[in-house]
């Protein structure tokens, strides 16, 4: 079995990302609705949606890592990729929607690449299970 330290950290970060994702969605629905354009709210919503999806994915990775006999490094890489992807992808979309600074949108695909790397690591890990 995997060291509980990394599993514990991934679960804790998943919980933080999930909780702050819910809070961000509620904040956008209530406090930002009258302050931002429809397009800015749509951008913010995409950030929230991807944050929540990858919080659940990170929790899944933690669970798999806890039970893993093989593929631990790939699962760890997937978890780290999901965390970095969320920070860059969702963070840049939040900043773009709140500030209107257009060049922030150029950073977003880097976070998307982090998500794709995480999902690729999960795919490869699936074939290392015996």
Residue 70's φ and ψ, nearest 5 degrees, are -135, 160
Per the structure, the complete domain to which residue 27 belongs is given by: 4-126
pTM of the model: 0.93
Residue with tokens 């950290």: 9
How far is residue 108's CA from residue 88's CA, in Å, rounded to a whole number? 6
What is the count of structural domains for the chain? 1
Tokens of 69: 């006999």
pLDDT, position 130: 73
Q: Residue 58's closest CA among 82, 74, 89?
A: 82
Reported as a pLDDT band with limits 50, 70 and 90, residue 38 is very high
Q: Is the separation of the CB atoms in 112 and 102 below 8 Å?
A: no
- For 38-54, what is the mean pLDDT? 97
pLDDT, position 120: 98
pLDDT tens for residues 70-114? Answer: 789 999 999 999 999 999 999 999 999 999 999 999 999 999 999
pLDDT tens for residues 10-24? Answer: 999 999 999 999 999
Q: Is the separation of the CB atoms in 13 and 83 below 8 Å?
A: yes
How far is residue 54's CA from residue 4's CA, in Å, rounded to a whole number? 21
Reported as a pLDDT band with limits 50, 70 and 90, residue 60 is very high
Mean pLDDT in the chain?
94
Cβ within 8 Å of residue 15, ≥6 positions away: 55, 59
Residue 38's φ and ψ, nearest 5 degrees, are -60, -40
């Amino acid at each position: 079995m995997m060291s509980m330290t990394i599993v514990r950290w991934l679960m804790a970060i998943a919980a933080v990302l999930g909780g702050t994702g819910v809070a961000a969605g509620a904040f956008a629905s209530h406090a930002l609705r009258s302050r931002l354009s429809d397009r800015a709210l749509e951008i913010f919503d995409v950030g929230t949606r991807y944050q929540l999806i990858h919080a659940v994915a990170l929790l899944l990775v933690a669970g798999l890592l806890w039970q893993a006999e093989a593929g631990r490094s790939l699962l760890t890489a997937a978890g780290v990729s999901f965390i970095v992807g969320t920070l860059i992808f969702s963070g840049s979309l939040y900043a773009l929607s709140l500030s209107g600074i257009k060049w922030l949108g150029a950073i977003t695909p880097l976070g998307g690449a982090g998500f794709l790397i995480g999902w690729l690591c999960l795919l490869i890990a699936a074939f290392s299970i015996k």
